[in-house]
Amino acid sequence: MKRLNYLLILITLISLAGCGLNSDNGELTGVLGRKKWFHNQPFGTIYVPTGTFHAGQSDQDVPSSQLAQNRQVSIPAFYMDDTEISNNEYRQFVYHVMDSIARKILGGEYVVEDPEGGDPWIKQEKKKAIDWKDENLKELFYQGNDRFERKVQIDIRKLKYSWMWEDLVAAAQYNQRGTKWNAGNRPDYFRTEITDIYPDTLCWIRDFTYAHNDPMTQVYFWHPKYDDYPVVGVTWNQARAFCHWRTNYYNSFINSVLDGNTVTPFRLPTEWEFEYASRGGRDGNPYPWGGPYVRNTKGCFLANFKPGRGNYIDDGGIYTVKVNAYFPNDYGLYCMSGNVAEWTQSSYAEAGQYVVSDLSPEYRTQAKEGDDDTYKRKVTRGGSWKDIAYYIQNGTRTQYEYQDSSKSYLGFRCVMSYIGRSNKDKE
């Protein structure tokens, strides 16, 4: 009897194969033949799982700001850079922009256009090497009185990055007023920006009156000694431009191996994503390492900040330190407190914690050039090497900077929203 059943099953399978398994036979099957997709983890990132935590102050509200109420919020999964973006990582962006400008000037065989009309980095490996001594590239270097001691140096004013993004918030608001979504023109929600991308190295001098920080201005960004230190002097828009470039650069590879699939964009984290990741899965902890103290049991400091009344060197660094200094938190993220404060995607408002949703909260404004400065305030998180211990706590949110400002104590890291279930290991 069992042999007969096996025979019937075999005959059925052969019949199905003969009919063609790719045919839906008039049934609702969904689109057939679609490739499986696994969200690859970008190099240098950490997976932060979906979760719920209690945001807000976990210690005394020292300045009585009342800006960080305690509330429970849920955050979808995302990938996050395990360290702050370093000088050398940001330099890759600068060099790419510099190369792209040079290839555009040289033209011809130096440029291989993307057949889809995109940027010419898709087939970069087939491009001819640039001869930087070419006379046609003279305009990229300082000339005449702009040259210092007759040195040949790139004119950093020429390093501009042109990029586009979609204003989905504006599109959603348009639809919310009861008008059909397709009633407007799609390009109405496209935004084009041209961003100066070279870091502001003079911020080291400008940030501190009556202090000798000239050496940091002169060598911090370009010297190999500082390659693994966090990039600073970068505005909010420059950080966003970096995220845009990184997304396209990464997608160019994904497209080449997965035939048209792309990932969600790299972006700055929201302030709630940053706080959630900083806590490392420990709800209510004041610092990323979990404990209520800034020293370990051996008396060593656990972050780069301003100990005591100005003993900067006591924690091992007088300015910034390497991006992977100190121990990571339980998610594997380094320097979520101290070293440099970090840009977030979120706009700053005193009542921000009170008005946002409890599901993936976000408060965002997109200020234009002529808008009031109030709309240009962006939340910074984590505290920096110049801040006292209170400002490097997970729940502290009294700090912000204007989106067009650059500081010697302010950097950033990127995140990418995860596509899939809350626990990727069970997919």
User: What CA dihedral angle connects 325, 94, 215 and 324, to 10 degrees?
Assistant: 0
In a domain, 351, yes or no: yes
At 18 the pLDDT is: 45
In a domain, 222, yes or no: yes
Give the span between the Cα atoms of 148 and 259, in whole angstroms: 49
At 391 the pLDDT is: 92
Q: DSSP states of 295-332 as a string?
A: B-TTS-BSS-S--TTT-GGGGT-SS---TT-S---TTS
Q: What is the CATH number of the domain that holds 76?
A: 3.90.1580.10
In a domain, 31, yes or no: no
Residue 208 tokens read as 């501190």
At 187 the pLDDT is: 84
At 415 the pLDDT is: 97
In a domain, 327, yes or no: yes
At 161 the pLDDT is: 95
Q: What range does the domain containing 62 cover?
A: 51-86+203-235+269-427
Could you tell me the CA-to-CA distances from 406 to 63, 239, 256 in Å, in that order? Answer: 25, 11, 36
At 276 the pLDDT is: 96
Give the span between the Cα atoms of 68 and 50, in whole angstroms: 22
Angle at 199 between CA 251 and CA 380, to 5 degrees: 80
Residue 406 tokens read as 């650059």
Contacts for 218 with CB less than 8 Å, ≥ 6 apart: 201
In a domain, 173, yes or no: no
At 38 the pLDDT is: 76
In a domain, 19, yes or no: no
Q: Are the C-beta atoms of residues 226 and 220 closer than 8 Å to each other?
A: yes
Structural domains counted in the chain: 1
- Of the candidates 309, 303, 307, the one whose C-alpha atom is nearest the C-alpha of residue 334 is 303
Q: Are the C-beta atoms of residues 324 and 83 closer than 8 Å to each other?
A: yes
At 120 the pLDDT is: 47
Angle at 156 between CA 151 and CA 160, to 5 degrees: 155
Angle at 78 between CA 75 and CA 79, to 5 degrees: 150
In a domain, 122, yes or no: no
At 117 the pLDDT is: 44
Could you tell me the CA-to-CA distances from 392 to 81, 224, 323, 352, 383 in Å, in that order? Answer: 19, 28, 16, 20, 4
At 341 the pLDDT is: 97
Q: Are the C-beta atoms of residues 375 and 367 closer than 8 Å to each other?
A: yes
- Render each residue's pLDDT in the chain as its tens digit; 427 residues: 555 555 555 555 445 444 445 567 889 989 888 777 778 889 999 999 999 999 887 777 666 666 767 889 999 999 999 999 999 999 999 999 999 999 889 885 554 444 344 444 444 445 678 888 889 999 999 998 999 988 889 999 999 999 999 888 877 776 555 555 555 678 888 899 999 999 999 999 999 999 999 999 999 999 999 999 999 999 999 999 999 999 999 988 887 776 666 778 999 999 999 999 999 999 889 999 988 899 998 989 999 999 988 899 999 999 999 999 999 999 999 999 999 999 999 999 887 777 888 888 998 887 877 888 888 999 999 999 999 999 999 988 878 999 999 999 999 999 999 987 666 554 5
Instruction: State which H helix or E strand residue 341 sits in.
Output: strand 341-347
In a domain, 69, yes or no: yes
At 416 the pLDDT is: 96
